[in-house]
Structure 1
């Protein structure tokens, strides 16, 4: 509708421009026509004069001059000369090719006239008469000097009666203009039609060029306006268009509505792993899926990168949550991109208007805060619920406090046991970091690890966890427990030069055998596939340190990457485990992962076990180890033995 309105406005503007151009171009074409017509009229008059001059020259040369041979006009004409002249000119007078004819001396005396009169005619003081007396022919047009009316061509021409070339007087002729005018009219009429036709064709061509140019300019302007307000990749409204529509929606709202921000999870990994072309294709798929899940009055926009936004008018919190849950489920439908099966995950943050504000910037900030709150929590869809929702801008404070926490030794490690599904014994523990905040109490990793990941703090934090885990392992080894310990490391750790040497140095300093340390790397970290990270994994396995692939099935690891590495353990993500006793698809996925891991020579550990039925199904399916609340929550290592690993945790 927005574009149709713009198109109608553009069409009206184009029509106005064309009419303006048509009128404006008519003026110079009309002026050109007037100039050309004036020129034609001037040429016609000149042609008429030329015709009169030629006709007068014939009369003078053929009739008058022979009759006046040896005549001296200053002395008058003899009777014989007058008779010859009368006889020579009678035919011209009779045929009406001459209206008046006078022969005059240089003094102006009329020595002969066709009607016998000696009065009238051109004054001797007239410049034309004097010019003719000097030997020049003068032609002019004027009203007839007799009662018959009309126009005549007056010719004043010197009379040269003999071969001497000397003029003896002036011949004053009045020639009828009707015949000349008829021939002239015939010629000018044809010229006028040609001129009119030519100018009309010129105007029509210019009009067509104008119309075509105007339409092209209108289309270009529409395309420019459309491109200025839309995303080139997805065709969705862009950030500028979103802000414009959002301001209008909020200002005109008579019912509650919502502003929603959507951010794709791990989109960078798709770009880094499969290439930017795959990332663009994924964005197009996301746009299509979101578009099909919206109502007619809703607006979807792409703000840039992997960030989208929604305007949901006439929607309360229940409607917003239900719609966003459906969109999240629609996005999660698996697709295959460049031969790799992917499941799209996104975080949704919503702010309601007017409840959470009426200014667009304020609503966007609160939707942004809700979205990032969801990224750090367990829900993909979060509606703003007050200023206590942390925001990425507050992570600067978290990072500053975390630096002090490392210096003041405020971090603690809790351990979750890993149980052998056949024997029921604890065979290892996973170290999980917590922050004993002096004011906020014990904080889970979701409250500070994202801030550490986005800064250089992840490296000293990982170093602290490794040192403390190896120290704790030495303590429980002294009590007779031979558990191995698993420590989570990030992609940034693997990419840091010298990380493998640093780990080897720590093992040597604590007197720990390398095989008793297992470094857990998320599947997405392996999917980055940088040379340095891959070489670090190879160097670690070369000294005997085990490598575990965490959250398997949720990332984008290729089989070639796993084939090229010595993987000690593959951990099945909890999303495939929680409904494995009921969902055939989850069962097929888990069995496939177990077969794949065993084929690679790796053991399999399932995460998130909360029921004995799930544990039993996994045992029968061939899974090696398990961890979850069924056995124990993460606790300090000294408390792990207080749990009986025979069923649900006490």
Structure 2
């Protein structure tokens, strides 16, 4: 409406200009009528009556009578108000009322114009019959016989009738003009309204596109940050930020195509919105990552809410005729408990989500501790690449003790990083960065090469210890992984059965078909496979039965609770019986005291690892320690382990 109101100004100006123009045209029309009438009087009445008169000498009686006869009719009927015939010197030689005075001065430009043979016309006030206006015409008088100017005819013609006629014409013109201007204004207003409406729609569309994801229609990353800041500033002053990442989304794109991946993302978006509350915010941050803002919830409420959302997500969906189950990892950061800034809370949620991807619990609430910034992980990844070139990585070996006689029955290779400025780093400080990048593959290759080389040396020294090396789920997904490991074994001349690859239970649970194929390929080449951290990944018995593993390692979570938790005792005893029933060797991790060692031995556990039995050492230290004849309980812990 502002544009429509503003358009009144040019429309009004246009109307004023047109009205002024029409008035000027009307005045000119009146003047032209007066000019024509004066010409007629001068040529048809005055000039013939004068013949060859010399106005400077005055008129004869005959000439005066002729003029009276020629002009009386016009004067009588009012078509002429006043009439004066003047010589070039300004003398009045004839007038309608017989007077010889009056008229405009000789010096007046109008008189001088007529004196040189041109007509001057103007609408002027009627000074003698005020108020009113008359048309004053100064017309040169030309003798009819000689054709030369002999004087000036000063005529005053009535203007009222002409003015009335013109006023009537102007009134009609004004109405037409007003109607045209109103129509123009309405058209401009309509155009203004339509244009403004279109611009508002376009602006709203642009704003929506700037703050919404084109594929799912959800708010995007920019909108998430805006709403997240608003949630932190407004009541209630508690709630949760949640990061959701789909598991194995890349496989859907690679196998079924990006159109199927897009359809899957739409389904996930719809299900998340349906499963959450109206006041909750669901956004797509990019790729297969979603962000949730859940205001007014505590830890228990957010877990319950997300459990329902996760159950909704896992409902089967059919894409391109193939039934799929959607799995996702939820990382939760609570505010203000875990922070008061958006970036800080997102880092906590990201850390929790990453922990969920590595573990089996799909919903992980941040548990505190230092959160590495993403740029710090980039620095770690860059430095880790140089660590290969500078030979900064080292291996320590933790012995596995056979519980029946206390002898070493194998060692587990554990990688450390001798950082040039930060000292000896534990795996937790750099393995996550390697897992997030492609560095886990060269890192695993380095560990295998070094472990097999060290094993060759201790076999030469008379220590026949099998060596265990941890591998990740990404290694199992790597094409030709089993063949590359077998090639390394052959190159070092080590018997294949002296190498054990430890695979976490969560890696087996992540993509079971692919993991089983990789494990079968490894075992067929004579290399042993152990299931690490058993008990926390919820591997099904049928799945375990299908995997040809030779060893099961019970997670320290259950071993640590043996002395005080009857449920842990029942679980460990069941695992031992299950493993023996499947023909597997059983090793317990995290044995820290003698009571637990005795309980495991009595329960039939085959081997154990832990600080009670031996801490990680370099292989040289381990060789020297065993050569000195010390028992495993006497193996010291090296500095920085």
In the alignment, structure 1 residue 263 sits paired with structure 2 residue 217: no
Tell me if the contact between 2:239 and 2:297 (Cα under 8 Å) persists in the aligned partners. Answer: yes
Q: 2:226 aligns with which of 244, 268, 287?
A: 244
Q: Distance in 2 between matches of 1:80 and 1:117?
A: 18
In the alignment, structure 1 residue 214 sits paired with structure 2 residue 168: no
> Which residue number in structure 1 is paired with residue 586 of structure 2?
632
Q: Distance in 2 between matches of 1:60 and 1:365?
A: 105
Aligned-residue offset at 1:345:
1.9
SS in 1 for 2:149: coil
Tell me if the contact between 1:293 and 1:327 (Cα under 8 Å) persists in the aligned partners. Answer: yes
In the alignment, structure 1 residue 312 sits paired with structure 2 residue 266: no
> Which residue number in structure 1 is paired with residue 161 of structure 2?
179
Q: 2:100 aligns with which of 112, 115, 118?
A: 118
Tell me if the contact between 2:332 and 2:365 (Cα under 8 Å) persists in the aligned partners. Answer: yes
SS in 1 for 2:264: helix
> Which residue number in structure 1 is paired with residue 493 of structure 2?
510
Q: Distance in 2 between matches of 1:96 and 1:556?
A: 120
Tell me if the contact between 2:394 and 2:415 (Cα under 8 Å) persists in the aligned partners. Answer: no
> Which residue number in structure 2 is paired with residue 410 of structure 1?
396
Cα 1:363–1:520 change in 2 (3 A) is closer
Aligned-residue offset at 1:495:
6.2
In the alignment, structure 1 residue 383 sits paired with structure 2 residue 369: no
In the alignment, structure 1 residue 275 sits paired with structure 2 residue 257: yes
5+ residue gaps in structure 2? 403-408, 419-424, 555-570, 591-599, 607-641
Tell me if the contact between 2:395 and 2:416 (Cα under 8 Å) persists in the aligned partners. Answer: no
> Which residue number in structure 2 is paired with residue 640 of structure 1?
none
Q: Distance in 1 between matches of 2:329 and 2:415?
A: 25
SS in 2 for 1:300: strand
In the alignment, structure 1 residue 48 sits paired with structure 2 residue 30: yes
Q: Distance in 1 between matches of 2:538 and 2:332?
A: 28
Q: 2:442 aligns with which of 459, 462, 485?
A: 459
Cα 1:102–1:635 change in 2 (3 A) is closer
Q: Distance in 2 between matches of 1:246 and 1:93?
A: 96
Tell me if the contact between 2:224 and 2:283 (Cα under 8 Å) persists in the aligned partners. Answer: yes
TM-score normalised by structure 2 residue count: 0.70
Tell me if the contact between 2:249 and 2:261 (Cα under 8 Å) persists in the aligned partners. Answer: yes
Cα 1:267–1:298 change in 2 (3 A) is same
Aligned-residue offset at 1:57:
0.7
Q: Distance in 2 between matches of 1:243 and 1:49?
A: 77
Q: For structure 1, which segment, 220-229 or 606-615, has the greater mean C-alpha deviation from structure 2 after superposition?
A: 606-615
Deviations 1:10-61 (A, max 9, x none): xxxxxxxx32x23332222222222222222112111111100001111111
Deviations 1:482-516 (A, max 9, x none): x9x99967666886999957733632642758x99
Q: Distance in 2 between matches of 1:405 and 1:223?
A: 56
Q: Distance in 2 between matches of 1:68 and 1:204?
A: 63
Cα 1:113–1:405 change in 2 (3 A) is closer
5+ residue gaps in structure 1? 1-17, 417-428, 525-549, 582-586, 595-602, 619-624, 637-643
Q: Distance in 1 between matches of 2:129 and 2:372?
A: 113
In the alignment, structure 1 residue 99 sits paired with structure 2 residue 81: yes
Q: 1:346 aligns with which of 318, 325, 328?
A: 328
Aligned-residue offset at 1:291:
1.1
SS in 1 for 2:217: coil
Tell me if the contact between 1:101 and 1:114 (Cα under 8 Å) persists in the aligned partners. Answer: yes
Cα 1:445–1:282 change in 2 (3 A) is farther
> Which residue number in structure 1 is paired with residue 281 of structure 2?
299
**What are the equivalent positions in structure 2 for 1:45-194 lying under 5 Å apart?**
45-147=27-129, 149-194=131-176
Q: Distance in 2 between matches of 1:436 and 1:521?
A: 19
TM-score normalised by structure 1 residue count: 0.70
SS in 2 for 1:129: helix
> Which residue number in structure 2 is paired with residue 423 of structure 1?
none
Deviations 1:552-601 (A, max 9, x none): 894687xxx99xx99979x9x999x97979xxxxx9xx8xx98xxxxxxx
Q: How many residues align?
A: 554
> Which residue number in structure 2 is paired with residue 197 of structure 1?
179
Q: Distance in 1 between matches of 2:255 and 2:156?
A: 105
Q: Distance in 2 between matches of 1:59 and 1:473?
A: 140
Aligned-residue offset at 1:176:
0.6
Tell me if the contact between 2:114 and 2:139 (Cα under 8 Å) persists in the aligned partners. Answer: yes
